[in-house]
Amino acid sequence: MLTDIEIANNSKPFKINKIAKKLHLATEDYEPYGYYKAKLNYIKSKPSSTQGKLILVTAMTPTPAGEGKSTVSIGLADALQQLKKNVCLSLREPSMGPCFGLKGGATGGGYSQVVPMSDINLNFTGDIHAITAANNLLAAMIDNHIKYGNELKIKEVLFKRCLDLNDRSLRNIKIGLGGKINGSPRQDGFNISVASEIMAILCLSENLIDLKKRLEKIVIAKDINNSPIYAKDIKAAGAMAAILKDAIRPNLVQTLEHTPALIHGGPFANIAHGTSSVIAAKIALNKADYVITEAGFGADLGAEKFFDIFARKTNLYPSAIILVATVRALKMHGHIAKTDLDKENLTAIKKGFCNLQTHIKNLEKFGYRPIVAINHFTTDTPKELELVKALCQKEGIKAIITQGWEKGGKGCINLAQQLLSELEQQPHAINGKCLYNLEIPIKQKINCIATEIYGAKRVRFSKKAEQEIETIEQWGYKNLPICMAKTQNSISHDKTKLGAPKGYVFPITEVRLAAGAGFIVVLSGSINTMPGLPKYPAAEKIDVDATGNISGLF
């Protein structure tokens, strides 16, 4: 069987102008980046009454390799296209960090891929590089201001530099060493670029002017009176926006079956808000009748943030939700070793089903009954697949076996038909809900997420977190949503707690204000915002030949 890279390389993508025509884009609506990519220009939205239907794809708590949300999303879009529907994908850009680490790329897999795969997974159109540059320009201007007199009386710098690679050695560093010529020494650290507040700002901005206003609001430091200092105070927002003027424009590519795909923005849902951009979603809904989007990692992370941050801000609530599950993940949550997930084990599936069941019940709190998509792996047995369907049926949930990896859109036709059937049965649009009101105190919002979604009994705040919450409230930012940062490997804060942990204490270690993005980042457990590489990183197997063909990227 062909590998993902061989499948992508052997495909014959259409020239990007042909894909643009599928979305009824005029030549002035986009700018080609080579033959198979394009940057979209600013496109006016049509009235909301005629916009397309948004379908959100989320998942159960994944195995380290992931359960295939992108594969299912792409396969579903291709299936809808086969059914003669006007459809578009709206997905996140991959970060290079995981590509060189453990998880690999994020363009789907097998015959459900977006292409050009290597370009999208690596440098693409330079969006994440621009975010990195804008972020680090701001950091440099902060230190430059301090060196030349510190007119703003900066006492504590809050803004970190970033890099789009996994590098644990940059989590805690000392900068400014080497004497006065290099500035004032201090303890600092890096985020990965996709966790930068600027990534979130780009994804949540409505246009270039909104982007610039949000950049101005970034809290960069505290002064000697513990008052906030903003990016606008050091006159950085204009130059940052200039760097980002093209990055804010969504990217148009295609699937292997030539379905249009907008790929834009790439925040991780375990340490950021985890959705693609508002601009991309609105353009897609403007140009297509059905828009498939996804929220990162499990529904406890991506889907919760989709509703409480993205949908709350935009009023773009989905018409339906697809919840991706795999036999492998169910067995893992049934406490089967990862080396034994290929072996049939019905008992483990029954035991691990509590994880999927929890995500189903959590989505109901937002007003939805999801369709479960069982992403088929070649090692799944008929008995295992039928058991998962039966367990879902007991919950009143329809489960559909999908084979997007093996068959592309054809392998997701049943899912597409079930989706269309359910959409047709809706007498009116679903009124999606948020989990909490913004007016309640910060601690209460955190407690609501921890107890209602994560199954915790109570929340424990570190002294540091207590002080940070007090400061944020004093600054007048009490009424912002929460962006929880925690492990993606468990519904809880502890990656070793599989299944559906209950009744534990959920620890909060740090709280950060992202005023420009419009939310509060809350760190739990041992999570950090700069990942590290595994013992055997994927980078060891990636290479390029004399003609520029890349191998080893998955």
Distance linking the first and last C-alpha atoms of the chain: 15
**Hey, how many other C-beta atoms are within 10 angstroms of the C-beta on 448?**
17
The answer for residues whose C-beta is within 8 angstroms of residue 313's C-beta and 6 or more apart is 204, 278, 518
Strand partners, 195: none
The answer for residues whose C-beta is within 8 angstroms of residue 302's C-beta and 6 or more apart is 58, 59, 269, 274, 275, 294, 295, 296
Tokens for 519, please give them. 């939310």
The residues that are catalytic are 69, 71, 92, 103, 269, 297, 377, 405
The answer to whether residues 218 and 515 touch, using CB atoms and an 8 Å cutoff, is yes
For 432, phi and psi rounded to 5 degrees?
Answer: -65, 155
The answer for residues whose C-beta is within 8 angstroms of residue 239's C-beta and 6 or more apart is 137
What is the spatial distance between Cα 105 and Cα 65, in angstroms, rounded to a whole number? 10
Given phi > 0 = left and psi -120 to 50 = alpha, else beta, which region is 145?
alpha
The answer for residues whose C-beta is within 8 angstroms of residue 274's C-beta and 6 or more apart is 92, 267, 268, 295, 296, 297, 301, 302, 305, 306
Rg (CA), the chain: 23
Burial class of residue 310 in the structure, from the number of CB atoms within 10 Å of its CB (0-12 exposed, 13-18 middle, 19+ buried): buried
What is the spatial distance between Cα 224 and Cα 228, in angstroms, rounded to a whole number? 10
What is the spatial distance between Cα 20 and Cα 41, in angstroms, rounded to a whole number? 12
Amino acid at 276: S
Burial 522-548 (b: 16+ CB within 10 A, else e): bbbbebbbbbebeeeebbeebeeeeee
With CA atoms as reference, report the closest residue to 112 among 82, 68, 65, 75. Answer: 75
| DSSP-derived 3-state class of residue 348 | helix
3-state helix vs strand vs coil in the chain, percent to 5: 40, 20, 40
Strand partners, 507: 460
* Helix (H), strand (E) at residue 430: none
